[in-house]
Chains A and B, each alone.
Chain A
């Protein structure tokens, strides 16, 4: 069964009202800065040292957005969940709120100070026919100031995405880094003998099934523009590689040779797929030109050579090979050339995923039967283990380069999780499906 879904359009008119204020603030501050730093030789010097290991998420309260109409989507709740799930914030439960202001002007900071809040999000939604406009402000409780003031417009179908967008804006304002709330994930779920290729928002909602079959589906891969997904399907009892457009559901068979047809990977320009084929003997890496349907062999190595991935500049392909005995990562110029080994530490290094800047590779790092997600610094060759599971697999970088999505085991359930690239923030993605694996973070 093949289904399709249309990409929801989200028209967001984002007006940042606090920009002028900010500029004025800077102008006011600059002369002061120079004045104080140049003239004062203050003997006062204060040093605040941390006491104990008490460190927690930054307290933030997202007050429910007011609306005259009944709206099916609770935007504030989505924002609240997004911020909480990020690991960096500690949100305030609605029942603990003493007041529920809906605009910055109504806010009494004292009330929020008593609750120990650092930040506050207030807003309201106006409905005009089928169009919703969301007005919201981010405030600093401690400094009693407004940090951002935006207006976002969206259709009824786009309210969820609008909420994720608000989360991204708040996250970026407070952390200085781009948020990844408004992103999607492709994955394979399986339940009672039915395999599904599904796409969902990163919070696990808005799940859409792309392909459903009684035979296994593997290795979903997003095209660079996010419009298509390549995957391996065993629907005809033998593996075949398909490319499917998400908006229309139309799909084309790219490779169905005898033997293995696996691990498709998109070139950064979206014109080619790197594949693993065994049509000429042992599994090797091949390049399929999607425009001409010409398939050329890239590697001619003994053993198993699979899981290709393109570097962001398209110059290099990194793949897994056991040519030296155990699976390790190797690289080869994408137009052919010398093969070079990349990993030497650990018994098992496989399933590479490039960071967007091309400096790092996330991979499965195995030692003594324990498989964890690790980062390989390409400049130094240093490997940093990020996760603590035993069967972590299929790492996939977020498009902002700050998180790595991967599949892991929780109890006897296969679940998806994400980890920050410094390993400090761990998130579990809450999907309703019992068994979820092979995730791929959308571009």
Chain B
């Protein structure tokens, strides 16, 4: 048992430690970990157009109807055709380009191979020389042509530049003109605006003036009302104050009266006390004596009472005809007597369950009357009330 519980305890203990360590570790981590605070970007205003959704939908529906499958098919076919056309054109262009290239090459080849063909092999060197010279010649010509072309190009360029300059100038002038015009419009606009503003300001001024006037009026009214109210409150307060004063006065008066009365009573009591001190002492003595007497009387009365009840019991007992087969039965008869010791009333207070037995008890009481009544006043009173008579078989 003990080891068991201790092992359990150690496990719990271990878990607790582990948990605590975990908490500490988390805390440490939390310290070094600066949370990535994301500040909400200010919301950029967006431009939006209110669209009638219904219309939009209808439009969509119309589009959908327009782009019905057949139309769509046609459209697709057209696109396909165009695509093919474009592809064909591209292919043709390519083919054309290829053919041109081939032609070019073929044109060059004959130029190159013809001398070879034409020249006999024997004087190849001469041919070569000839060829070289010719090529040199050709090159020179070529260079000339190039230079000429370059010159032309430069001239052209120059002209173009000049023209561009001219155009730029005119454009700038136009721009200047335009800007000027724009400026004029702007100035006009500003002027108009200023005028409008002035007007607005004036209007505002007037309105403010009117408002102030109104305000003043209302304030005046308000103050008048407030004054009225204040006056009423003041009146009320005054009334209350006067009432309070009156009540205060009344209370004071009453208090004074009460005090006076108290004093009077006190004085009276004092006097009485003084007067009765002696008699009181006497009374106390008397009471004590009376008490003693009463105690003695009570003892004596108990004795008298017992004498009375014993006499009744004896009288009843001798006259009680106990019925047969009533062993163990008990009943209580309540009895009331008159001053002559005669039975005034009886009734069965607690039945024995046997009527014959109850009746025999009642009968015994009646048969035993009259009873000797006690001289003692108190016992007589008791007897004149009612008391139980228990019959115990």
* A interface residues with partner B (beta carbon < 8 Å): 29, 32-33, 36-37, 39-40, 42-51, 54-59, 87-88, 113, 116, 118, 140-144, 174-177, 420, 422, 424-425
Smallest CB gap from A173: residue in B: B355
A88 contacts B355, C-beta separation under 8 Å: no
Q: Kindly list chain A residues whose C-beta atoms are within 8 Å of the C-beta of B305.
A: 43-44
Smallest CB gap from A117: residue in B: B321
A142 contacts B363, C-beta separation under 8 Å: yes
* B interface residues with partner A (beta carbon < 8 Å): 305, 308-309, 312-313, 316-317, 320-327, 334-336, 345, 347, 349, 354-356, 359-364, 366-367, 379, 382-383, 385-393
Q: Kindly list chain A residues whose C-beta atoms are within 8 Å of the C-beta of B327.
A: 55
Known: A45-B390, A55-B323. 6 other contacts (CB 8 A): A36-B334, A44-B379, A44-B383, A46-B312, A88-B323, A118-B359
Smallest CB gap from A50: residue in B: B393
A142 contacts B362, C-beta separation under 8 Å: yes
A57 contacts B362, C-beta separation under 8 Å: no
B386 contacts A46, C-beta separation under 8 Å: no
A150–B308 Cα gap in the complex (Å)?
Answer: 42
- Count: A-B pairs, CB below 8 Å: 121
Q: Kindly list chain A residues whose C-beta atoms are within 8 Å of the C-beta of B356.
A: 58, 88, 174-176
Q: Kindly list chain A residues whose C-beta atoms are within 8 Å of the C-beta of B322.
A: 50, 54-56
Most buried by B among A44, A87, A144: A44
A425–B354 Cα gap in the complex (Å)?
Answer: 14
B325 contacts A420, C-beta separation under 8 Å: yes
Give the shortest distance, in Å, between A43 (CB) and chain B (any CB).
Answer: 6
Give the shortest distance, in Å, between A45 (CB) and chain B (any CB).
Answer: 6
Query: Looking at the complex, which one of A42, A141, A422 makes contact with B325 (CB distance below 8 Å)?
Result: A422
Give the shortest distance, in Å, between B72 (CB) and chain A (any CB).
Answer: 95
Q: Tell me what chain B mostly uses at the interface: helix, strand, loop, or mixed.
A: mixed
A47 contacts B321, C-beta separation under 8 Å: no
A87 contacts B324, C-beta separation under 8 Å: yes
B324 contacts A48, C-beta separation under 8 Å: no
A87–B309 Cα gap in the complex (Å)?
Answer: 34
Query: Looking at the complex, which one of B320, B354, B363, B383 makes contact with A48 (CB distance below 8 Å)?
Result: B320
A55 contacts B390, C-beta separation under 8 Å: no
Most buried by A among B320, B322, B362: B322
Query: Looking at the complex, which one of A88, A143, A422 makes contact with B363 (CB distance below 8 Å)?
Result: A143
Q: Kindly list chain B residues whose C-beta atoms are within 8 Å of the C-beta of A87.
A: 324-325
A57–B357 Cα gap in the complex (Å)?
Answer: 11
A44 contacts B387, C-beta separation under 8 Å: yes
Give the shortest distance, in Å, between B136 (CB) and chain A (any CB).
Answer: 153
A176–B352 Cα gap in the complex (Å)?
Answer: 12
Give the shortest distance, in Å, between B300 (CB) and chain A (any CB).
Answer: 14
Q: Kindly list chain A residues whose C-beta atoms are within 8 Å of the C-beta of B349.
A: 37
A48 contacts B325, C-beta separation under 8 Å: no
A143 contacts B325, C-beta separation under 8 Å: no
A48 contacts B364, C-beta separation under 8 Å: yes
Q: Kindly list chain A residues whose C-beta atoms are within 8 Å of the C-beta of B321.
A: 56, 58-59, 116, 118
Q: With A42-B386, A56-B324 in contact, is A48–B317 under 8 Å at CB?
A: yes
Q: Kindly list chain A residues whose C-beta atoms are within 8 Å of the C-beta of B390.
A: 45-48
Q: Tell me what chain A mostly uses at the interface: helix, strand, loop, or mixed.
A: loop
Q: Kindly list chain B residues whose C-beta atoms are within 8 Å of the C-beta of A140.
A: 359, 363
Q: Kindly list chain B residues whose C-beta atoms are within 8 Å of the C-beta of A175.
A: 354-356
A279–B75 Cα gap in the complex (Å)?
Answer: 119
A424 contacts B325, C-beta separation under 8 Å: yes
Q: Kindly list chain B residues whose C-beta atoms are within 8 Å of the C-beta of A47.
A: 313, 389-390, 392
A51 contacts B317, C-beta separation under 8 Å: yes
B385 contacts A49, C-beta separation under 8 Å: no
Q: Kindly list chain B residues whose C-beta atoms are within 8 Å of the C-beta of A43.
A: 305, 382
Most buried by A among B305, B324, B327, B382: B324
A118 contacts B363, C-beta separation under 8 Å: yes
Most buried by B among A48, A57, A58: A48
A50–B393 Cα gap in the complex (Å)?
Answer: 5
Smallest CB gap from A118: residue in B: B363
A116–B363 Cα gap in the complex (Å)?
Answer: 11
A39–B335 Cα gap in the complex (Å)?
Answer: 15
B323 contacts A58, C-beta separation under 8 Å: yes
A328–B334 Cα gap in the complex (Å)?
Answer: 51
Give the shortest distance, in Å, between B366 (CB) and chain A (any CB).
Answer: 4
A46 contacts B324, C-beta separation under 8 Å: no
Q: Kindly list chain A residues whose C-beta atoms are within 8 Å of the C-beta of B324.
A: 55-57, 87-88, 424-425
A46–B336 Cα gap in the complex (Å)?
Answer: 12
Q: Kindly list chain A residues whose C-beta atoms are within 8 Å of the C-beta of B359.
A: 118, 140, 174
Give the shortest distance, in Å, between B309 (CB) and chain A (any CB).
Answer: 5
A36 contacts B392, C-beta separation under 8 Å: no
A47–B321 Cα gap in the complex (Å)?
Answer: 16
Smallest CB gap from B353: residue in A: A176
Q: Kindly list chain A residues whose C-beta atoms are within 8 Å of the C-beta of B313.
A: 46-48
Give the shortest distance, in Å, between B372 (CB) and chain A (any CB).
Answer: 14
B336 contacts A36, C-beta separation under 8 Å: yes
27 examples of A-B residue contacts, CB within 8 angstroms: A36-B334, A36-B336, A36-B385, A37-B334, A42-B388, A44-B382, A44-B387, A45-B309, A45-B387, A46-B389, A48-B313, A48-B317, A50-B392, A55-B324, A58-B321, A58-B360, A87-B325, A88-B323, A88-B356, A140-B363, A141-B363, A142-B364, A142-B366, A142-B367, A174-B356, A177-B355, A425-B325
Q: Which 5 A-B pairs have the closest CB atoms?
A: A424-B325, A176-B355, A44-B387, A142-B363, A142-B366
Give the shortest distance, in Å, between A74 (CB) and chain B (any CB).
Answer: 26
Query: Looking at the complex, which one of A46, A50, A113, A116 makes contact with B388 (CB distance below 8 Å)?
Result: A46
Q: Kindly list chain B residues whose C-beta atoms are within 8 Å of the C-beta of A88.
A: 323-325, 356
Q: Kindly list chain A residues whose C-beta atoms are within 8 Å of the C-beta of B379.
A: 44
Give the shortest distance, in Å, between A110 (CB) and chain B (any CB).
Answer: 12
A29 contacts B389, C-beta separation under 8 Å: no
Query: Looking at the complex, which one of A40, A116, A144 makes contact with B385 (CB distance below 8 Å)?
Result: A40
A409–B327 Cα gap in the complex (Å)?
Answer: 29
A48 contacts B392, C-beta separation under 8 Å: yes
Q: With A44-B305, A58-B356 in contact, is A29–B345 under 8 Å at CB?
A: yes
A144–B367 Cα gap in the complex (Å)?
Answer: 10
Smallest CB gap from B360: residue in A: A58
B360 contacts A143, C-beta separation under 8 Å: no
B367 contacts A45, C-beta separation under 8 Å: no
Q: Kindly list chain B residues whose C-beta atoms are within 8 Å of the C-beta of A142.
A: 362-364, 366-367
Q: With A46-B309, A51-B317, A88-B323 in contact, is A33–B347 under 8 Å at CB?
A: yes
Q: Kindly list chain B residues whose C-beta atoms are within 8 Å of the C-beta of A176.
A: 354-356
A46 contacts B360, C-beta separation under 8 Å: no
Give the shortest distance, in Å, between A188 (CB) and chain B (any CB).
Answer: 31
A140–B364 Cα gap in the complex (Å)?
Answer: 12
